[in-house]
Chains A and B, each alone.
Chain A
Amino acid sequence: MRLSVPIALTFGAAVMVAAACGGGQPEDVTPAVDSAAIRDSIRRADSLAAVEAARRDSIERARMEEQRIRREREEAARREREITVAVVAMLAEHVNFDFDKSNIRPGQDTELLETKLGIMQANPALQVLIVGHCDERGSDEYNMALGMRRALSAKKWLTDRGIDEGRITVRSMGEEQPVDARSNEDAWAKNRRDEFAVAGGGTVLVRPSGM
């Protein structure tokens, strides 16, 4: 690049001279000019322009490539985030319980736990917080213990299937945080639940195989 600057200047000067000679003055006073040198100069200028154009093209191509890569990376990150969000959402699905019970019911609840098991297997760094909740009908203090039993039931289900105990933290909120504050069967059924959340190692999560 640095070398081309004087050349370009010389070329510019030559064109200016040519223009001055050709356009600015009457034809009859045209002096004898070495046309070969001019042609040569022009040819040289053409080739310099071509080089410059090629150079610009390559910069543009590099920029495009860079953008493409960035877009791809962004796309990949977005997909990763989407997957992570989807996995966190799968993980967060509540497991519900019968009134005053803490046992995992076969069927829908074990299916939900199978998913959570798959997620923990596919993401070995993932640590999970399980929080047990109760409905408002039972005794206030007893519900704290019952909520903990519910969290422990889910934890045991997972650790029985090979998940390391240290990856799961359990807590209880008793009846203090209902998801539905109404006082009817529908609300109570929703409020008797385990909530699952990422406690660590959850920045990027992959889907368990087959999901």
Chain B
Amino acid sequence: MTAPVSTRAAVAGRGGSLSLRASDAPAHHPAHPVPPTGAAPESPRCEAPTRPLANCARRAAPIVPAILTLCVAVPVVAQEPPVEQGVRIGITYTPGLRPGMLVLGGTYGERLDSVRAIVTRDLELSDRFEMISLPGGDSLLLGLTQLSAGGDDTAGTAIPFVNYSLYAALGAEWAVSLTPETDSTRVRATLYDVRGETPREVVRSGLRPLDSPDFRMSAHRIADELVLAATGEPGFAATRLLFIQRGRLYRVDADGADLEVISPPEITAFSPEWMPDAGRVVYSELSEGRGRIVVHDLETEERRAVPPTAELLNYAAAVSPTGELLAFARSGDDGTEVYRYNLAQDCCLERLTVGRFSDNLSPTFSPDGRQIAYVSTRPGLPQIYVMAADGTGQELFAPFDYGVTGSSNAPEWSPDGTRIAFHRDVQGSLQVFIMDSRSRAVRQLTSAGRNTDPTWAPDGRHLAFVSDRTGRRQIWVIDIETGRVRQLTTVGDARLPAWSPRIVMPTEP
């Protein structure tokens, strides 16, 4: 088992800059992750997928797991001397925060191989674990018994030999095995607590056939269950994002797979948003300076215009958490104001703001449906405001220094209600910020390039946003706990992303 050693060596080799940043961080208790202290936006340490592998002592291990492992190091191993262990905690980016995770191999056929690859990547992208990858990858069975042929409930009873001490030596706190169920439409995912030397959770999950368009989503759902079992909070693997590219509405899975165009070619789509059921989306169709809002059913591809938006310019739609209300911006002779419409009853257009000489736009509902954050130009330049969902009690939300702070735009309330993400002009360049909705403390998350239009993953911890750091506007994802970023889209010029709620299968098999 030389691989972990060489991996650690590589980390130590590039540890100089790391130690400075993390050395003053206390050793957090594993159960209570704390965001990095200080306003060091977007830690450059772990932009793993884009980082060159210059001094990386990797061999046959898959590329991304290898880099991630490098980036954060394998957690402390028991035989390290106490003093060195303390040093290592300082260097290695609070290992207790991100427990080691090992996905065990196995030879159960093409479908389970695909599931394992998808789940492994999802666990990585959750940013909650240090994925432990091994040279040889799947060919090492790591003690899992191979499924013996024949027998009635072979799959169900093929209890693998779980080599806890080996996994612990590799730095794993968690191990996951994926084995078939007797019912071939299902898969069994077992999460092992390595320290406790016991299986923690068994997830039996429906699995679509490999050639089904829902196959990947059914595998993502397994990953989300595992994240929930290990951390108490569900992941966001079974989600998708919408975005606009040259007037067309696109949809992509949260792991970057299955890019699809949604809107018909003859229309110019703008400012998309998901309905809470994730089966329908809402967006504006622009035409000669006018815009109507349509509800588009992803299953039937039926598009229905929201009646009162047939005139003037209507955009920036937001849907209340129950799906009942639509809030949007309407631009006309009175400038731009926030309006509300009852989608459920198909009635009752109401104007919520009266700007007179200022504009009000870009509404976003709080997850309890009681409040709407929005943009108002009342202070002279756009800033983030908040009001009750009926339009009363309008007040400034995100604090700013008059004459100093730049324009603030595109607010989106986090799914847990605790934060608002938005972008703000910082000396001529737009950057993503988050604000605590109670304390109203504001924190800058990005600094490289132009970064705009943040949208929350359902885990309330990841944000997708538009960044031009590579020269073109693309969708990127940031983990606000660690500052890690990754690029989601690579084609064309992407803008106005909208992250879906968790996607539930219409009918489980």
Contacts and interface: CB of A to CB of B under 8 A. Distances in A.
Interface of A: 100, 131, 138-142, 144-149, 152, 170-173, 176
Contacts of B432: none
A201 B382 CA distance: 38
Contacts of A142: 361-362, 375, 382, 407, 409-410
B271 interface: yes
Contacts of B453: 139-140
B336 A144 contact: yes
A134 B247 CA distance: 16
B313 A171 contact: yes
B382 A139 contact: yes
B332 A145 contact: no
B58 interface: no
A144 B317 CA distance: 13
Nearest to B409: A139
B458 to A, nearest CB: 22
Given A145-B336, A171-B288, A139 B423 contact: yes
A137 to B, nearest CB: 8
B410 A141 contact: yes
11 contacts: A139-B423, A141-B329, A141-B496, A142-B407, A144-B315, A144-B336, A144-B361, A148-B331, A148-B335, A149-B359, A171-B289
Main secondary structure of the interface of B (DSSP, over half): strand
Contact of A139 (B247, B270, B329, B410): B410
Listed residue (B313, B375, B409, B452) with the most chain A CB atoms within 10 angstroms of its CB: B313
A144 B313 contact: yes
A100 B407 contact: yes
Contacts of B361: 141-142, 144-145
A152 B362 contact: no
Nearest 6 CB-CB pairings of A with B: A171-B289, A145-B336, A139-B409, A148-B331, A145-B359, A141-B316
A152 B312 CA distance: 14
B286 A170 contact: no
B333 interface: yes
A151 to B, nearest CB: 8
A139 B407 contact: yes
Query: Considering residues A142, A146, A147, which has the most beta carbons from chain B within 10 angstroms of its beta carbon?
Result: A142
Contacts of A139: 382, 407, 409-410, 423, 430, 452-453
Contacts of B218: none
B405 to A, nearest CB: 14
A170 B335 contact: no
Nearest to A173: B289
Contacts of B289: 131, 171-173
B381 interface: yes
B248 interface: no
B268 interface: yes
Interface in B321-353: 329, 331-333, 335-336
B467 to A, nearest CB: 14
B331 A145 contact: yes
A1 to B, nearest CB: 61
B495 interface: yes
A172 B313 contact: yes
B200 interface: no
Interface residues of B, number: 34
B290 interface: yes
Contacts of B382: 139, 142
Nearest to B355: A145
B122 to A, nearest CB: 30
Contacts of B329: 141, 144-145
B496 A140 contact: yes
A147 B247 CA distance: 18
A155 to B, nearest CB: 8
Given A140-B452, A140-B496, A152-B335, 14 more contacts: A138-B407, A139-B423, A140-B495, A141-B329, A142-B407, A142-B409, A142-B410, A144-B291, A145-B361, A145-B377, A146-B359, A147-B331, A171-B313, A173-B289
A141 B332 contact: no
Interface in B255-281: 268, 270-271
Interface string B376-393: 010001100000000000
A152 B288 CA distance: 16
B362 A141 contact: yes
Contacts of B336: 144-145, 148-149
Of A138, A139, A148, which is in contact with the most chain B CB atoms at under 10 Å from its CB?
A: A139
Nearest to B334: A152
B168 to A, nearest CB: 50
A198 to B, nearest CB: 14
A193 to B, nearest CB: 13
A94 to B, nearest CB: 15
A172 B330 CA distance: 11
Contacts of A145: 329, 331, 335-336, 359, 361, 377
A145 B407 CA distance: 14
A172 B382 CA distance: 18
A141 B409 CA distance: 8
A152 B430 contact: no
A141 B315 contact: yes
A148 B382 CA distance: 15
Q: Residue among B331, B407, B495 with the most chain A CB within 10 A?
A: B331
Nearest to A175: B495
Interface in B116-151: none
Contacts of A148: 313, 331-332, 335-336, 359
Contacts of A140: 270-271, 410, 452-453, 495-496
Contacts of A100: 381, 407
A139 B377 CA distance: 13
A141 B331 CA distance: 11
Contacts of B313: 144, 148, 171-172
Contacts of A173: 286, 289
Contacts of A170: 332-333
Which of A147, A170, A172 has the most CB atoms of chain B within a 10 A radius of its CB? Answer: A172
Nearest to B331: A148
Determine which residue in B286, B290, B453 has the highest number of CB atoms from chain A within 10 A of its CB, and name it.
B286
